[in-house]
C-alpha cells in the first residue's frame, strides 16, 4: 500500500495543474455498449446503483451512479474512485393479436445482451473541485421477429410487415465537474457526448413504396448506423443534516444528428425495385428531471428515494404522434413517464455490504398507438433488485447485483391502414439481468 499512498499524495499535489489535459484526453476514450431499459433508459447503471433500484440522486456511493444521475455527487469522492461493470441481460417480448375469436402470438428471437460501463471520479480531499469521467450504456431497445404466415403483423409483405428487426444502442460519455460550495452544499455539471447506433428492417416510417395494386412496401435500414449527440447535466446535493440529504439533477434533451442509411426501393413489382435510395430518421433523447432524498438511518444503513421525470413527448422520433396516419405507421408515439425509485444499503460486516431496491416506472407506450412500439416493446414497469459487495482488499470491492422485471403488458387497438379497428394488440415483455463489477478506491 506504500506505493498507493505515495501515488495518492502526489495526485493531490499535482491534480490541479494537470486537470485540464487529463480530462480532455480522457474523454477521447470509448467503449461500446448495448442494452435494454425502462422507457428506453436503463433502470440503474452499474451493480451498486442497479441493486438499489437506480435510486441515489442525493446519496453518493460510487462513480457510475453519480455520473449517470447527478454530477454534484462527485464532490463526495476522496481521492480516486473507479468502477468497472458489466451487465448481462435477456428480455422476452411477446406480441398477441386478437381479431374476433382468432388469436395469434409472435415471439421474437432473443439473445443475451452485454452492457459495459466505466466510471471514474476524483477529488483532492483538501480541495473543493472534483472531476469525473465515464463511459456507460444508458439506453437501448431491440427485437428480432421472424416472418410468420400465421401472424397478422408478421405475415410476409404486403400482407404484414414480414421479417422485422430493430437494434438501438446508446452510450453516454460524460465529463463532469463538481464544486463544494459549502460544507453542506455541492453543485455539479457534466458535458455529455452521446453515441447512438440504430438499425431496423423494414423501416415502417413515412418513406415507403406503393404498388399499382395499392400495397405498401417499407424499405430496409438494417445496418447499425452511428450518430452523435451532445447534452448537459446539472445537479446539486445538499446535506441538510448528518442523517438527511436532498439532491436534484436536470439533463437536457439529447439532440442526435439524424441517422442515415443506404437503402433501396422496396416494391418488388416496380421497375425500380432494388435501386438506390437513402433514408434518414431523427431519433433524439428526452429531457430528464431527477430529485431525491438520502437518509442514513444508522452508521451502517443508507436509504435513497428518488423521483424521475422523462419528457418523451415531442422528442424527435420517440415523441412523435404514433399510430397510423395517412395509411402508414408512425413509429413510437411515446408519452412522458414518471419513475419512482427506492433503495437501501446495509453494511452487514466490515467486508460485506448488501443492497436492495425497487423501481416503478410508467411505460412510455400509449395504448392507443401500441402498434407503433412493436419494435421497441418497453412495457416494463416494476423492477425488483438486489445485490451485494465484498471488500477483497482495502482498495477493492467486488460488487454484484440482480434485477428481475416481471412481464408488463400494454393492450391497444389493432388498426388497419385506413385506421379501422380490426381487433386488439397486446404487447408484453419481461427482463432479467445480472451485473458484475469492481469498485476501486485509492
The number of CA neighbours under 13 Å toward the Cβ of 268 is 3
- What gap in Å lies between CA 339 and CA 186, rounded to an integer? 24
Please report how close the Cβ of residue 176 comes to another protein at its closest, in angstroms: 17
Comparing CB distances to another protein, the nearer of 62 and 148 is 148
Q: 121 forms bridges with which residues in the sheet?
A: 81, 132
Q: Give contact residues for another protein (rule: CB under 8 A).
A: 3-4, 6-7, 10-11, 14, 18, 21-22, 25-26, 28-32, 84, 86, 109, 111-112, 114, 116, 118, 144-149, 156-157, 162-163, 165, 167, 199, 201, 220, 222-224, 226, 262-264, 268-269, 273-276, 278, 442
Minimum Å distance from CB 278 to another protein?
8
Q: Is 367 helix (H, G, I), strand (E, B) or coil?
A: helix
How far is it, in rounded angstroms, from Cα 223 to Cα 233? 31
d(CA 313, CA 315): 6
- Classify residue 424 as exposed, middle or buried by CB count within 10 Å of its CB (0-12, 13-18, 19+): middle
- Specify the residue, 269 or 349, whose C-beta has the smaller distance to another protein: 269
- Structural contact between residues 40 and 168, judged by C-beta atoms closer than 8 angstroms: yes
Q: What sign does the CA torsion over 400, 406, 407, 408 have?
A: negative
Phi, psi of 372 (to 5 degrees): -75, -10
Tell me whether residue 21 or residue 126 sits nearer to another protein (CB atom): 21
* Pick 145 or 236: Cβ nearer another protein: 145
Q: Whose grid coordinates read 419494435?
A: 375
- Choice between 103 and 269, CB closer to another protein: 269
C-alpha cell at 12: 493531490
Residues with Cβ within 8 Å of 271's Cβ and at least 6 positions away in sequence, in order, are none
CB of 265 to another protein, least distance (A): 9
Closest CA to 282 of 253, 333, 317: 317
CB of 243 to another protein, least distance (A): 34
Smallest distance, Å, CB 59 to another protein?
27
Q: 185 in helix, strand or coil?
A: strand
Distance from the Cα of residue 33 to its chain's centroid: 10
| Shortest distance (Å) from residue 143 CB to another protein | 10
Measured from the CB atom, the residue of 273 and 338 that comes closer to another protein is 273
From the centroid of its chain, how far is CA 283?
14
Q: Which is nearer to another protein, 14 or 352 (CB)?
A: 14
Pick 4 or 187: Cβ nearer another protein: 4
Q: How far apart are CB 156 and another protein at their closest, in Å?
A: 3
The least CB distance from residue 3 to another protein, in Å, is 6
- The residue among 200, 252, 188, 186 whose CA lies nearest residue 372 is 200
Smallest gap from residue 307 Cβ to another protein (A): 34
**Residue 86 or 252 having the CB closest to another protein:** 86
Amino acid at each position: 500500500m506504500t506505493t498507493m499512498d505515495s501515488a495518492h499524495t502526489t495526485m493531490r499535489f499535482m491534480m490541479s495543474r494537470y486537470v485540464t489535459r487529463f480530462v480532455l484526453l480522457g474523454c477521447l476514450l470509448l467503449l461500446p455498449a448495448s442494452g435494454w431499459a425502462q422507457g428506453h433508459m436503463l433502470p440503474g447503471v452499474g451493480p451498486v446503483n442497479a441493486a438499489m433500484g437506480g435510486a441515489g440522486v442525493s446519496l453518493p456511493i460510487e462513480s457510475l451512479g453519480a455520473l449517470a444521475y447527478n454530477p454534484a455527487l462527485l464532490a463526495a469522492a476522496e481521492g480516486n474512485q473507479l468502477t468497472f461493470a458489466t451487465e448481462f441481460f435477456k428480455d422476452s417480448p411477446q406480441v398477441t393479436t386478437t381479431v374476433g375469436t382468432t388469436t395469434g402470438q409472435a415471439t421474437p428471437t432473443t439473445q443475451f445482451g452485454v452492457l459495459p460501463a466505466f466510471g471514474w471520479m476524483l477529488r483532492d480531499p483538501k480541495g473543493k473541485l472534483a472531476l469525473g469521467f465515464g463511459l456507460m450504456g444508458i439506453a437501448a431497445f431491440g427485437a428480432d421477429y421472424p416472418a410468420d404466415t400465421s401472424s397478422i403483423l408478421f405475415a410476409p409483405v404486403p400482407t404484414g410487415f414480414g421479417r422485422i428487426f430493430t437494434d438501438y444502442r446508446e452510450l453516454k460519455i460524460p465529463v463532469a465537474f463538481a464544486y463544494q460550495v459549502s460544507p453542506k452544499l455541492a453543485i455539479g455539471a457534466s458535458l455529455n457526448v452521446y453515441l447512438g447506433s440504430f438499425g431496423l428492417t423494414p423501416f415502417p416510417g413515412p418513406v415507403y413504396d406503393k404498388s399499382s395494386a395499392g400495397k405498401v412496401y417499407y424499405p430496409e435500414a438494417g445496418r447499425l448506423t452511428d450518430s452523435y449527440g451532445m447534452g448537459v447535466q446539472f445537479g446539486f446535493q445538499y446535506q441538510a443534516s448528518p442523517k438527511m440529504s436532498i439532491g436534484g439533477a436536470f439533463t437536457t434533451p439529447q439532440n442526435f444528428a439524424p441517422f442515415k442509411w443506404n437503402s433501396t426501393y422496396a416494391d418488388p413489382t416496380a421497375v425500380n425495385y432494388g435501386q438506390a435510395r437513402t433514408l434518414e430518421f431523427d431519433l433524439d433523447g428526452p429531457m430528464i428531471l431527477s430529485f431525491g432524498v438520502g437518509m442514513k438511518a444508522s452508521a451502517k444503513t443508507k436509504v435513497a428515494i428518488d423521483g424521475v421525470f422523462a419528457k418523451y413527448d415531442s422528442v424527435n422520433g420517440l415523441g412523435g404522434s404514433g399510430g397510423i396516419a395517412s395509411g402508414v405507421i408512425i413509429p413510437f408515439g411515446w408519452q412522458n413517464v414518471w419513475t419512482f425509485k427506492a433503495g437501501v444499503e446495509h453494511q452487514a460486516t466490515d467486508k460485506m455490504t448488501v443492497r436492495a431496491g425497487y423501481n416503478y416506472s410508467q411505460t412510455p407506450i400509449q395504448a392507443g398507438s401500441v402498434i407503433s412500439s412493436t419494435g421497441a416493446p418497453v412495457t416494463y414497469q416494476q423492477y425488483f433488485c438486489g445485490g451485494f459487495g465484498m471488500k477483497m482488499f482495502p482498495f477493492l470491492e467486488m460488487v454484484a447485483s440482480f434485477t428481475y422485471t416481471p412481464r408488463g403488458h400494454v393492450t391497444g387497438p389493432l388498426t388497419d391502414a385506413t385506421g379501422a379497428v380490426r381487433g386488439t394488440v397486446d404487447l408484453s415483455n419481461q427482463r432479467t439481468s445480472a451485473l458484475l463489477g469492481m469498485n476501486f478506491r485509492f
